[in-house]
Amino acid sequence: MDDGAKQFQANRAPATTRGADRYITLTTSPASVSTGIKTKAQARRLEKCGACMGTDVASHSSDTSCKNCKGQRRVEVLRTIEVNIPPGIQPGTRLCLPGHGDEAIGDGPPGDLYMVIQPYRHEKSRVGVTLIKVLGALVFLLGIFLYAGNTIGFFPTFPFLGFIVMAIGGILFKLDD
């Protein structure tokens, strides 16, 4: 290699690397996935240390490592990001938020934040399900009582009222199944 090429390499700026990408999952309601929504999400990322400004020097007059970032030049922070979820997005879709990943060491561009959209499933309340089943069973028993009373002439009512009430009770009882 000749002297000119060596001089060119020595004067060349160091290669900059891009910050790392981050990945999170945003869990939201099924309605917001189908209709679209503007929401906020929290994501961790590495940013330049505020104490040493990413230089790893505690102060300009000393050569000791920064105690805030412990010589790593970056610290992990939790940021709140506003996100627009477009309407009709499919569950599991990955949205890219450019520039919201880790900051680079040096002058490189920051990484991206990839957000996977997942709708949550509603968990049914066991107390509510139990109450509906009990109500269904009671209505069904009332239907049996009306049918038996109507058959022996105890209740002069509409002849099929017992069957109708039993059907309603059966539907309520099987509602959760």
Write the Ramachandran bin of 71: left for phi over 0, alpha for psi from -120 to 50, otherwise beta: left
pLDDT of residue 114: 92
**Is 87 a member of any domain?**
yes
CATH of the domain at 47: 2.60.260.20
pLDDT of residue 126: 66
| CB 61 within 8 Å of CB 81 | no
* pLDDT: which is higher, 100 or 61: 100
**Is 6 a member of any domain?**
no
With a cut of 50, say whether residue 115 has pLDDT above it: yes
Of 80, 96, 119, the position where a domain reaches its end is 119
Residues 164, 136, single domain; the answer is: yes
Phi, psi torsion values for 166, nearest 5 degrees? -65, -40
Q: Cα(76)–Cα(49) distance, rounded to whole angstroms?
A: 9
What average pLDDT does the segment 98-102 reach? 89
Of 73, 97, 119, the position where a domain reaches its end is 119
What is the reported pTM?
0.54
What average pLDDT does the segment 22-34 reach? 82
Residues 103, 133, single domain; the answer is: no
* pLDDT: which is higher, 154 or 2: 154
Angle at 149 between CA 148 and CA 153, to 5 degrees: 120
Residues 115, 131, single domain; the answer is: no
Residues 51, 132, single domain; the answer is: no
Run of H or E including 138: helix 126-151
Confidence of residue 15 (pLDDT cuts 50, 70, 90): low
Residues 33, 91, single domain; the answer is: yes
What 3-state class would DSSP assign to 127?
helix
* pLDDT: which is higher, 9 or 54: 54
pLDDT of residue 177: 57
Domain that holds residue 164: 126-174
Structural domain total, the chain: 2
pLDDT of residue 10: 47
**Is 23 a member of any domain?**
yes
Confidence of residue 14 (pLDDT cuts 50, 70, 90): low
Residue 4, both tokens = 């000119």
**Is 157 a member of any domain?**
yes
pLDDT of residue 60: 55
Q: Give pLDDT tens digits for 46-91.
A: 888 877 776 666 555 556 777 777 777 788 888 898 888 888 888 8
With a cut of 60, say whether residue 27 has pLDDT above it: yes
